[in-house]
Amino acid sequence: MNIKIKISTENIVKATSGILIGGDMGIHFKGISTDTRIIKPGYLFWALKGEKFDGHDFYKEAIEKGAKGIVISRFPREFKMEEIPKTISVILVKDTLRALGDLANFWRRKLNCIIVAITGSCGKTTTKEMSYNILSRFFKTAKNQANYNNLIGVPLSLLSIGENAEVGILELGTNQKGEIERLSQIVEPQISVITSVYPSHLDGLDSLEGVLEEKITLFKNTHRNGTIIYNFDQQILREKAQKFSQNKISFGLNPEADLSFQNLVLSEEKIKGEIKFKNNSYLLEIENIGKHNLLNLLASLCVAISLKLELKNIIPLIGNEIPLFKRFKVFEKKNFLIIDDTYNANPGSTKAALEFIKGLSKNWERKVVILGDMKELGKDSKMLHEEIGKLVAEVADFAIFTGEMAKSYEKGFRSEKNKECKTFDSVDELLKNFSLKEFLEKEKRNTAILIKGSRALRMERIVEKLIEELS
């Protein structure tokens, strides 16, 4: 990743507690890069170590492409200081990943803007994007791109926020203990949001309680005079939030939430109802983005409220001048409705997707669900896949399960109702041994098809094949 930022060697050394072993404190950089494939002349190369690569091995390539400096935590093989031009800064730090976060925090303290941090098991990106769509109408607003939400992406995103920004919105992700703690210490948010807490990344977080404890550290590191925003509908989150002293705003479908959505009317095309805050009520009618995304919209409105914006100036614009955002894509071809929700999957997001397809109108006579594994669920993986399998049986007329956990899905599915399903060990096997073309030709009734699974399975290949066969 490349980020554009004007910064000096002196500030890098100061922020990271590094040692300058070559070059000069007065050397300035045009930006920072962690990837020699895309590095630009005048940039500082930051050597990070990943699971499959080590940036230290590419320091020569960085210099050959015009890097004005390198940050390292060890001397690479064949490294000779005398061969490095004196016009190039060489900065030695204890740990390049840790140092990147330290630099980001140094930069954050230079910024005169409000930082909004968003985490949760589901809905992080949607809430970030919706918040950005709202706030950017009123403030100079920055955000992290795509899903740059980890120990590399968040610091780089923070460093890319310009000094003229008024608000920065950062999504924080985790798959291991301590990651939210570190990220929230780096970004020092004034406003924090936890969208939801569900079983996810259990390989690293052990249990639902572990997920909750990891997420809640965001509130612990929110400014003492700041605002914390949470999902009132989730009791475990509601109870934890009460222990914090910051200003609080809750959201939910429960009328006791500070900001709630009442008199909900769902149709295939529309969501209608009232948004209630304090003693005021605002009518809202938007496209059907799903009940789960409605909660993400409410979370975004809480962010706006915490920045002293008035709902009467925002709600009439939603869906028109303020665009909505949703992860899933919908394609209607012939007598089929294809719901592409292949970005990722955990129990919470999969339940939400099943609720969405369940709520489709009776025009869609048949409902088909194609599910892949939900990854990183640890010792509870089989049980959680069985639970989802049971829910699929309540929704779908036919199901296809693929991946290592396909049989667990099937076990739950068959325990509820005697419906037909098929299982495959992988997406490759499904595409090779199951004729989607023949399947589609047999489906004469109006049929809705949901496709969802963890990113590792690349379930989008199934969507691509379905659309190809329908073209």
Q: Which of 145, 161, 142, 169 is nearest to 303 (CA)?
A: 169
Question: According to the model, what pLDDT value does residue 322 have?
Answer: 92
Nearest to 119 by CA among 170, 68, 55, 84: 170
Strand partners, 366: 447
Per residue in 143-183, pLDDT tens? 998 778 899 999 999 999 999 999 999 999 887 788 999 99
Q: 360: which 2 tokens? A: 């489709």
What does the pLDDT read at residue 282?
A: 96
The bridge status of strand 191-194 relative to strand 336-341 is: unpaired
| DSSP code string of 232-252 | TT-HHHHHHHTT--SEEEEEE
Residue 204 confidence (pLDDT): 54
pLDDT in tens, 343-376: 888 888 898 889 888 888 778 889 999 999 998 8
**pLDDT reported for residue 415:** 81
φ, ψ of residue 207 to 5 degrees: the values are: -155, 175
Comparing 22-26, 186-190, 440-444, which segment has the lowest mean pLDDT? 440-444
Backbone region of residue 190 per phi and psi (left: phi > 0; alpha: psi in -120 to 50; beta: other values): alpha
State the Cα–Cα distance between residues 123 and 154, nearest whole angstrom. Answer: 17
Q: How far apart are CA 235 and CA 233, in angstroms?
A: 6
How does residue 13 score in pLDDT terms, banded at 50, 70 and 90? very high
pLDDT higher than 60, residue 296: yes
Is 208 a residue whose pLDDT tops 70? yes
pLDDT band with cut points at 50, 70 and 90 for residue 11: very high
Residue 202 has a pLDDT of 57
Q: Per-residue pLDDT averaged across 179-194, rounded?
A: 96
First to last CA, the chain: 37
Residue 268 DSSP symbol: S
Query: Mean per-residue pLDDT for 101-123?
Result: 95
- Residue carrying structure tokens 């409705």: 337
Query: Whole-number mean pLDDT of the chain?
Result: 91
pLDDT confidence of 329, banded at 50, 70, 90?
Answer: confident
- SS3 for 311? helix
Q: How many distinct helices (H) and strands (E) make up the chain? A: 17, 21
**Confidence category of residue 261, pLDDT binned at 50, 70, 90:** very high
**Would you state the pLDDT for residue 380?**
85
CA 61 to chain centre: 32
Q: Which region among 51-55, 126-130, 293-297, 391-395 has the lowest average model confidence (pLDDT)?
A: 51-55
pLDDT at 256 over 70: yes
Q: Is the separation of the CB atoms in 311 and 282 below 8 Å? A: yes
Cα Rg for the chain, rounded, in angstroms?
24
Average pLDDT over residues 39-67: 93
- Contact by Cβ (8 Å): 288, 270: yes
Query: What pLDDT band is residue 52 in, cutting at 50, 70 and 90?
Result: confident
Condensed to tens digits (0 to 9), the pLDDT of residues 426-467 reads: 999 999 999 988 888 888 889 999 999 888 899 999 999 999
Asked whether residue 402 carries a pLDDT value surpassing 90, the answer given is yes
Amino acid 145: pLDDT: 81
Domains delineated in the chain: 2-95 (3.40.1390.10), 111-317 (3.40.1190.10), 329-470 (3.90.190.20)
| Residue 112, helix vs strand vs coil | coil
Query: What pLDDT score does 199 carry?
Result: 67
Give the residue-averaged pLDDT of 295-323: 95
Query: Mean per-residue pLDDT for 87-108?
Result: 97
How far apart CA 406 and CA 389 sit, in angstroms, is 9
H or E element, residue 91: strand 89-92
Gap between the Cα atoms of 22 and 131, Å rounded? 44
Q: DSSP secondary-structure letter at 457?
A: G
The reported pLDDT for the residue numbered 276 is: 97
